[in-house]
Amino acid sequence: MSSPWFVYILECANDRLYTGITTDVARRFREHVTGRGAAFTRMNKPQRMLAFTSCPDRSQASRLEARIKRLPAADKRRLCRLWVFAENSHTP
């Protein structure tokens, strides 16, 4: 069985959003912050991880990432709130 992949959304200093995929969310965020991430985040300094969700494999993560990238920013922010809600709903 393969390890899960994650789709994540970052908020940058200029309120722009970046969507990506990874197998390690914390490592990937550090890479973006230190300038070793995507060209977009080298030009738009990442401030925080808004949310992430897991996918069973890279293929599904890539498809979800592509769909999210086509959304307007307001819809991406709403999606982040849903992801956070879903994660928090499992806690007692």
We report the CATH number of the domain holding residue 39 as 3.40.1440.10
pTM, two decimals, is: 0.89
**Model confidence band, residue 84 (pLDDT cutoffs 50, 70, 90):** confident
Q: Which of 28-42, 52-66, 75-89 has the lowest mean pLDDT?
A: 75-89
The number of angstroms, rounded, from the C-alpha of 52 to the middle of its chain's C-alpha atoms is 5
- Which residue(s) pair with 53 in the sheet? 7
Distance of CA 77 to CAs 18, 55, 58, 83, Å? 11, 19, 23, 10
**Model confidence band, residue 37 (pLDDT cutoffs 50, 70, 90):** confident
Q: Which range marks the domain in which residue 62 is found?
A: 5-88
Q: Encoding tokens for residue 25? A: 């969310």
Contact (CB, 8 A) for 68 and 12: no
Q: Report the domain count for the chain.
A: 1
Quick one: CA dihedral 19, 21, 26, 30, positive or negative? negative
